[in-house]
Amino acid sequence: MNRIEARFAHLRESGKKGFVAYIGSGDPDLEATRQLAIAFDQAGVDVLELGVPFSDPLADGIVNQMAAQRGLESGTTPDKLLATISAIRKESQIPIVLYVYYNLLHKRGLKQFIDDCAQAGVDGLLVLDLPPEESDNYEQLMTAAGLNNIYLIAPTTPESRMEIIAKRAKGFIYYISREGVTGMQETVADNIASMTAKIRQHTTLPIAVGFGISTPEQARLVASNAEAIVVGSAIVNQIAQNGKDANLAPKVAAFVKTLVDAIK
């Protein structure tokens, strides 16, 4: 069983909610990424999403755009990131998802990229700009490699398309709770309960809700209507503020633990 599937099965059996943490890879450098991954595992994070730095991160708000830029400036490439994931695997079995734009898969070659990810210890891919209708043999290659193809559903997704996405996704459904790009918000969307209920009509996969969650109170509220929550920009913002601190990993992990504890 894939690590993502195993983790969510364990959460379901124990009656607990899942916490998905997003960070930009190589921000401020790849050694920090390795340390953060291990610290997050110890803090109770269930799934780690690693953003692969890209020059045109069209789904991201300014906080994550800047993280991608810092990752590029630190020299982070897909090859170096996969080497870092291999290093993480020597100390941690935390499920890892790459949050990536399709251009990077296309450039390397779809099968080669997927196989390299599997070899390094990646568990799933969330390809931001690859809709299921245009994925060709992507899903078959992912299944053959033992990886989960994770898809997004948005508030604007028609129910007919929601059904298609839900049937083709693996691991979990990532529900984007807001229109627009990633970023911290002062309030959570008011239609999360109705939207997750609608999605559940088409799948038994766990639903992870993201976009805009930044406080323990918001985390607790959103988790009441989902199997997991995703927090990105709020964590990335902590990394930006403490990037030059020698105690970066424990400081950011302490912040993350307040959010994890809120939903556990």
Show the domains of the chain with their CATH numbers. 3-149+229-263 (3.20.20.70)
The pLDDT of residue 108 is 97
Compare 180 and 144 and report the one with higher pLDDT. 144
Helix (H) or strand (E) holding 67: helix 62-73
pLDDT at residue 182 is higher than 70:
no
Least confident range from 51-65, 69-83, 170-184: namely: 170-184
pLDDT for the residue 178: 64
pLDDT of 180 above 70: no
What is residue 179's predicted lDDT score, i.e. its pLDDT?
Answer: 53
Number of Cβ within 10 Å of residue 49's Cβ equals 26
In whole angstroms, how far apart are CA 24 and each of 72, 124, 248? 10, 16, 14
Instruction: Quick: pLDDT tens for 230-261.
Output: 999 999 999 999 999 999 999 999 999 999 99
In this structure, the strands spanning 148-149 and 151-153 are unpaired
Here the tokens at position 256 are: 């993350």
pLDDT of amino acid 61: 87
| pLDDT 10s digits, 16-59 | 999 999 999 999 999 999 999 999 999 999 999 999 999 999 88
pLDDT at 177: 84
Residue with tokens 């799948």: 203
Q: What's the average model confidence in pLDDT over 58-76?
A: 94
**Contact, 233 vs 61, CB < 8 A?**
yes
Residues 183-208, mean pLDDT to the nearest whole number = 84
In the predicted structure, residue 181 carries a pLDDT above the cut 60: no
> Which residues are known to be catalytic?
49, 60
Q: How many CB atoms lie within 10 A of CB 46?
A: 25
Q: Residue 211: what pLDDT?
A: 83
Q: Say if residue 188's pLDDT is above 80.
A: no
State the chain's mean pLDDT as an integer.
94
pLDDT at 59: 82
